[in-house]
């Protein structure tokens, strides 16, 4: 117990070490043009194939404004609404740092954007994935609460040497989850919402499995981070995912 407390405290004090200035003024005209291109084609591709709070978030956060968003401008809208704040990071952060950030309503966004030559291939998530994919749903009060809960669960799971349980739960909900909305299958996860290739694939391919979402199944279902997912978990609704994860305690996560 003592050791768990120490580990958690260390993680919570270290996440600040990964934060860098966004240096918004360093983005070039070409960078801004790449954002505009990605934004325009993704909004058109998604249409209404994504849960509706995502589209509400895009409007609320004014993500259609041309160019790469600056984190201060986003935070000026996001923080008063749900208490979430974005910070810039230079690339992927370790899981323990990521979950510690989420547990404090901090979302890390890459301080770089892909090139025009790499529109559909990413070695590490860039600011288009992070800002377009993730931030709109963090303007939704209950989803915001749920994401913080995943952070807390992740911190506890890592302290118990069971980090992959929390990583799989996160992956099958926040990143690659699907959910029904008024009976229709919709994209929920940021990895799908921000992907040109996988958005339609996840909804329409006949080659993948789509299994009902439960926290138990999510915790035990492996995933791919280097290819399209071979299976997606489908919630009865966005609200079901939120309820199930908010009801999950660290003790139950570790016992599932
Ligand atoms: Fe992501």
Per-residue pLDDT reduced to its tens digit, 173-214? 999 999 999 999 999 999 999 999 999 999 999 999 999 999
194 is catalytic: yes
- Per-residue pLDDT at 4: 43
- Express each pLDDT in 33-45 by its tens digit: 999 999 999 999 9
H or E stretch at 56: helix 52-60
- 249 C-alpha to ligand 1 centroid (Å): 23
- Residues whose beta carbons lie less than 5 angstroms from ion ligand 1: 190
3-state secondary structure 162-206: CHHHHHHHHHHHHHCCEEEECCEEEECCHHHHCCCCHHHHHHHCC
Least Cα distance to 188 among 82, 35, 53 occurs for: 53
CA dist 92 and 44 (Å) reads 28
Among residues 140, 172, 173, 175, the one annotated as catalytic is 175
Which of these is catalytic: 103, 134, 198, 235?
A: 134
Average pLDDT, the chain: 94
pLDDT for the residue 9: 53
| Per-residue pLDDT band at 10 (split at 50, 70, 90) | low
pLDDT at 231 over 70: yes
Q: Each residue of 143-171: pLDDT tens digit? A: 999 999 999 999 999 999 999 999 999 99
Q: Which of 173, 194, 195, 235 is catalytic?
A: 194
For this structure, is 64 an active site residue? no
Residue 2 alpha carbon to ligand 1 centre in Å = 32
Active site residue 65: no
pLDDT over 80 at 23, yes or no: yes
């Amino acid at each position: 117990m003592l050791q768990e407390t120490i580990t958690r405290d260390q993680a919570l004090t270290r996440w600040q070490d990964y934060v860098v200035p966004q240096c918004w003024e360093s983005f070039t005209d070409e960078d801004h043009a790449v954002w505009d291109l990605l934004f325009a084609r993704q909004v058109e591709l998604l249409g209404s194939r994504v849960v509706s709070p995502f589209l509400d978030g895009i409007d609320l956060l004014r993500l259609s404004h041309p160019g790469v968003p600056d984190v201060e401008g986003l935070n000026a809208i996001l923080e008063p609404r749900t208490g979430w704040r974005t910070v810039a990071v230079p690339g992927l952060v370790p899981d323990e740092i990521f979950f510690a950030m989420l547990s404090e309503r901090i979302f890390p966004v890459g301080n770089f954007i892909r090139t025009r030559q790499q529109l559909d291939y990413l070695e590490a998530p860039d600011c288009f994935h992070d800002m377009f994919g993730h931030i709109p749903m963090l303007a939704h009060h209950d989803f915001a609460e749920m994401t913080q809960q995943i952070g807390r669960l992740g911190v506890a799971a890592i302290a118990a040497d069971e980090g992959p349980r929390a990583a799989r739960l996160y992956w099958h909900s926040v990143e690659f989850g699907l959910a029904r909305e008024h009976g229709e299958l919709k994209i929920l996860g940021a990895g799908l919402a921000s992907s040109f290739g996988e958005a339609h694939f996840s909804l329409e391919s006949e080659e993948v499995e789509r299994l009902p979402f439960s926290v138990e199944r999510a915790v035990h279902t492996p995933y791919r981070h280097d290819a399209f997912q071979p299976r997606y978990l489908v919630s009865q609704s966005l609200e079901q995912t939120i309820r199930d994860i908010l009801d999950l305690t660290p003790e139950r996560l570790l016992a599932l």
